[in-house]
Amino acid sequence: MRKLILLLIFCLSLNQASAQLLDNLRLGLESNMAWYNDDKRTGAFFDEENNDGDEHVRVNSYLKLDYDFLKNFTATVQIESYEPLALLNYSPNFEGTNFGIYSLNYKSNKLEASAGHYYEQFGSGMILRNWEDRQLGLNNALLGGRMKYMPLDFLALTALYGKQRVGFETADSDIFGFNTELDLSNIFNFENSSLNLGFSYVGRNETADSEDPNFDDLTNAFSGRIDFTEGNFYANAEYVTKTDDVAVIAGQLIDNFVNPGNALLLNTGFSQKGFGIDATFRRLENMGFYSEREKTGNVFLENNINFTPALTKQHDYLLTNIFVYQAQSQVVFADPQLMEAGEIGGQVDLFYNIKKGTSLGGKYGTKLAFNASYWAGLKGDYDYNNLSYDVDYFGFGEKYFSDISLEIRKKWNKKVNSIFYYVNQYYNQRTIEDNFSGEQIKTNIVVGETIYKFGRIGQSVRLEFQKLWSNSDNHDWIGGTFEYNVSPRLSFYVNDIYNSGMDSSTSENHYYNFGGSYNKGTTRFSLNYGRQRAGLVCVGGVCRFVPEATGLSASLLMSF
C-alpha cells in the first residue's frame, strides 16, 4: 500500500512537472515545399547555378522552440532544414539540416541580456538592422552578446558584439556597436509632446584581403536621431556617416577607389480623424554596408549590416509589382554611361475620408489614398577613368523611378465593397537593374476589385481585374483574380496575368496560379499550382530576384 501511495505521488509530481514544462514551452513549425516540373511553354526545369536539374523537390523547414524558466530567462533554438535542397534562388549557403539560431536571454525591468544569436536595430536601421524574413531567404542575425540597460526612466543604453550569420556559418569579420536613447520629454515633464534623441555607433572589422590596401580594416559608422511629436503632428530626422570604405565592382575590391558614405532621412506628418499626410525625404551616398566587403550587392541579400529599403508605395496587386524599385545605396561604376554613387528622393502619402451622408461619400463614406514617390541619382561629376566622383549634396541627377497612385475604397451596402486603383510609373531599367540595354519604361495601370459578402459569416467572393499599358512594345499586360472564401477558415483562388507584348521572356505566356488555404486555430495549410514569373519579390521594400518556374507548392505553419 505504501509503495502504491509513493508511486501515485511520484506520478502526480511528474505530471505536474511535465505540465509546467509544457506551459513554459512555445513551439513554431513552418515548412515550405515545392515540386518544380518541366513546362512545355516555359521550358524544362533546371537550376544552372547548382547544376541540380534532377532535384525537382525542394523543402525549407523551420522548427523554433522558446522555453521560459526561472522567471526572467528564455532559451531559444531554431532548427532549419533545406532538404534535399533549398527553394529556388535561396543562397547555396542554406544547405542541409542544422541549428540556425540559438540563444539564452535574460529580461528584467532594467536589464536585458542575450548570449548567442540575436536581432537588433538602431534607429531606422540605416546604420544597423538584423532580422529574419523566410520569404526572402534572409537571416542576418548576430552571433555573440548584447546587453541593454535602462538605469533611468529616460535613458536606455545598448552594447553589442557579434559575427553575422551567413547560412549556417558566420561572416569573417567582427561587428560591434553602441546605442543610446534619451527621452527628453520625461526629463522636462512635457505634458502634450514628446522629444527623443538617439546616438549610435557600429564598427565592422574585417582583415583586408589585398596585397596593398588603401583602406583600414576597421570601418566606423555613426548615427544621430531626433524624434518629436505634439498632438497630431510628428517629425523625425536621422543622419548617418560612414568612414572610408572600398568600392566593390563586379565582385572585386578596387583598392584605389575608397570613399566615405552618409545618409539623411527626414520624415514628418500630421493626422486627425478622416485626414492624414506623411512626407519622407532620404539621401543615400555610398551606404552599402556589408559584413564582408566582397559580398557587396549580392543577389541573396546576405551580409547586410544596415537596412535601406525602397521608400515607395508597397502595392498589393500582380501588375503593379512588375516594375518595382530597389534602393540604390551603393557606388556603381559599370561603364562610362552607368555610374552611380547613391540616390536622392522621397514620397508623400495622403489619406482622406469623405464623410458619410455627402454626395460623394454616400451612406457609408468613401476613403481616398494618394501616394507619390520620386527617386533619382546624385547629381555631380563622375570620372570613370580615374574612378572618382564629386556629388552635390541636394542635387538631383538622372531619374531612376517615379510612382503616382490613387486608391478609392467604396462601401456600397452591407454586402458589397469596391476598390478602384490607378498607378502611373516610370522605371529606368538601365540604372535600377544595371542593365546596359535596359529601357526607360512608363506604365499606366488600372485595377478594379469588388468583394461580395453573402451567406454565413466569412463567406464572400472577390473579383479583381488589372490592366497595364506601357510605352514599351515589350509590355502590355492584363490580369485577373477570382477568390472564394467559403468560411473564415477555408478559401480558394485562381489568378492569371498575360503579356501580349513582344518581350521574349514573357510574351504570350499565361502566368496562372490556383490553390487554396485552410486555417484552424494556430495552424494554416496552403496549396498552390502554377507558374512563377521571373522578377523581383519584395517584402517591406526589400526585394530579391526569383527565376521563372512552374510547379506545385505547399506551406504548413503551426504554433503551440
Q: Kindly report the CA angle at 94 between 89 and 95, in degrees rounded to 5?
A: 110
Beta strands in 231-384 (DSSP E): 233-249, 252-272, 275-285, 332-335, 338-340, 342-354, 366-383
Per-residue tens of pLDDT for the chain, all 560 residues: 344 343 333 443 444 444 456 789 999 999 999 999 988 887 788 766 545 556 899 999 999 999 999 999 999 999 999 999 999 889 999 999 999 999 999 999 999 999 999 999 999 999 999 999 999 999 999 999 999 999 999 999 999 999 999 999 999 999 999 999 999 999 999 988 999 999 999 999 999 877 667 889 999 999 999 999 999 999 999 999 999 999 988 778 888 899 999 999 999 999 999 999 999 999 999 999 999 999 998 989 999 999 999 999 999 999 999 999 999 999 999 888 889 999 999 999 999 999 998 988 999 999 999 999 999 999 999 999 999 999 999 999 999 999 999 999 999 999 999 999 999 999 999 999 888 888 999 999 999 999 999 987 889 999 999 999 999 999 999 999 999 999 999 999 999 999 999 988 888 899 999 999 999 999 999 999 999 998 888 888 888 888 889 999 999 999 98
User: In whole angstroms, what is the distance from residue 462 CA to residue 494 CA?
Assistant: 11
Torsion over CA: 157, 162, 164, 165 (sign): negative
Backbone dihedral angles phi then psi of residue 360, each to the nearest 5 degrees: -90, -30
Is residue 142 within 8 Å of residue 158, measured between CB atoms? Answer: no
Q: What is the largest CA-CA distance in the chain?
A: 95
Q: Is 508 exposed, middle or buried (0-12, 13-18, 19+ CB in 10 A)?
A: exposed
Q: Of 299, 286, 386, 392, nearest to 340 (Cα)?
A: 286
Render 388-446 in DSSP notation, one character per residue. EEEEEEEEEEEEEEEEEEEEEEEE-SSSEEEEEEEEEEEEEHHHHTT-TT--EEEEEEE
Q: Is the peptide bond before 260 cis (omega within 30 degrees of 0)?
A: no
Which amino acid is located at 521 in the chain? G
The residues with which 378 forms a beta bridge, in sequence order, are 396
Q: Which residue is listed with cell 505634458? A: 191
Residue 338 Cα distances to 4, 283, 310, 435, angstroms: 84, 19, 20, 9
Q: Kindly report the CA angle at 457 between 455 and 462, in degrees rounded to 5?
A: 70
User: In whole angstroms, what is the distance from residue 114 CA to residue 148 CA?
Assistant: 9
User: In whole angstroms, what is the distance from residue 403 CA to residue 390 CA?
Assistant: 28
User: In whole angstroms, what is the distance from residue 125 CA to residue 244 CA?
Assistant: 20
